[in-house]
Amino acid sequence: MDELQLASLAQALHDPPAWLLPFLPLAQQVFEHVRSRSVATALAAARTSTGDCPRFIDHSQLPSSEPYEAFIARAGCVPTRDNLHDFFNGLVWLNYPQTKRRMNQLQAQQISLHGASGPRGPLRDALTLFDENAAVLQAPSKLVDALRRRDWHTLFIDERAMWKSARLVVFGHALLEKLMQPRKAITAHVWVVEELNDNALAASLTLERLEAKAFLPLPVLGVPGWWSANEDSAFYEDPEVFRPARCSR
């Protein structure tokens, strides 16, 4: 990671934003190792205390002839580069190993059946979308219903206090990376769950639900407490970000 990335990450860990809090204990532990070692080595050091998680290796050890997902499934190792993207990917592996393993197994199965070249198909597309840009939401049904309708006024203003009963975890490592430079338009693909833990999340990744791409769009910096600008209700009066639901034909 370059000096700018290290500086911004250090600041975030010192004064963490709400979206980073679920990952904070391991993030701080890994970051202390990153200062003097590679990301792969730092993640490997943290892995010893987290249980069921694959090994992290330098990305150069990935065979050029083998797809990334297939290699992880075969070798039980995650090729890792020295950048924020792979740093956050490692943190998600450490915090949600069963879910990441389930996703990897499904990816590897599809590659085995259809090959790595050519059209990826709806299942692999959904898995990649989840892996890169998902946020996982456990919330009262009134909030979920408002999100489904894209009723932003109800979701963020009328029922603002109800967010205290909700849990939203940023899962996608590309989404975590984007949030290091926050901007209003950053939108997550939300996956709604009844229970938010690793085993329950892994079990929710059924073929039917993934292929249906059962995601809901959410501009995550509109979540109460996630960005100070949203304390002003005018923040939500931006139709380019808080878009109405499409009318069905």
Per residue in 152-162, pLDDT (tens digit) is: 999 999 999 99
Q: Does one domain contain both 153 and 98?
A: no
* Average pLDDT, integer, range 36-58: 84
Segments forming the whole domain that contains residue 52: 3-120
Q: Does one domain contain both 51 and 95?
A: yes
Residues 6+ apart with CB under 8 A from 88: 173, 174, 176, 177
Q: Does one domain contain both 111 and 43?
A: yes
Q: Does one domain contain both 111 and 174?
A: no
Q: Which of 54, 138, 45 is nearest to 92 (CA)?
A: 54
In a domain, 243, yes or no: no
Alpha-carbon dihedral angle through residues 169, 45, 178, 96, given to the nearest 10 degrees:
-30
In a domain, 242, yes or no: no
Asked if pLDDT for residue 225 goes beyond 90, the answer is yes
Q: Quote the number of domains for the chain.
A: 2
Q: Does one domain contain both 197 and 229?
A: yes
In a domain, 43, yes or no: yes
DSSP 247: P
Q: Does one domain contain both 111 and 165?
A: no
What local confidence, expressed as pLDDT, does residue 50 receive? 62
Q: Does one domain contain both 146 and 221?
A: yes
Asked if pLDDT for residue 90 goes beyond 50, the answer is yes
Q: Does one domain contain both 12 and 58?
A: yes
Residue that is last in its domain, among 120, 146, 170: 120
In a domain, 35, yes or no: yes
Q: Which residue has the higher pLDDT, 99 or 54?
A: 99
Q: Does one domain contain both 230 and 165?
A: yes
Q: Does one domain contain both 95 and 148?
A: no
In a domain, 245, yes or no: no
* Average pLDDT, integer, range 203-219: 96
User: Hey, how many other C-beta atoms are within 10 angstroms of the C-beta on 118?
Assistant: 7
Q: Which residue has the higher pLDDT, 6 or 194?
A: 194
Q: pLDDT-based confidence at 247, cuts 50/70/90?
A: low
In a domain, 241, yes or no: no
In a domain, 164, yes or no: yes
**Cα 161 to Cα 159: distance, rounded to the nearest angstrom:** 6
Q: Does one domain contain both 138 and 108?
A: no
Q: Which of 171, 84, 71 is nearest to 112 (CA)?
A: 71
* Whole-prediction pTM: 0.92
Q: Does one domain contain both 81 and 188?
A: no
In a domain, 74, yes or no: yes
CB 232 within 8 A of CB 224: no
Asked if pLDDT for residue 245 goes beyond 90, the answer is no
Residue that is last in its domain, among 96, 120, 144: 120
Residue that is last in its domain, among 120, 143, 175: 120
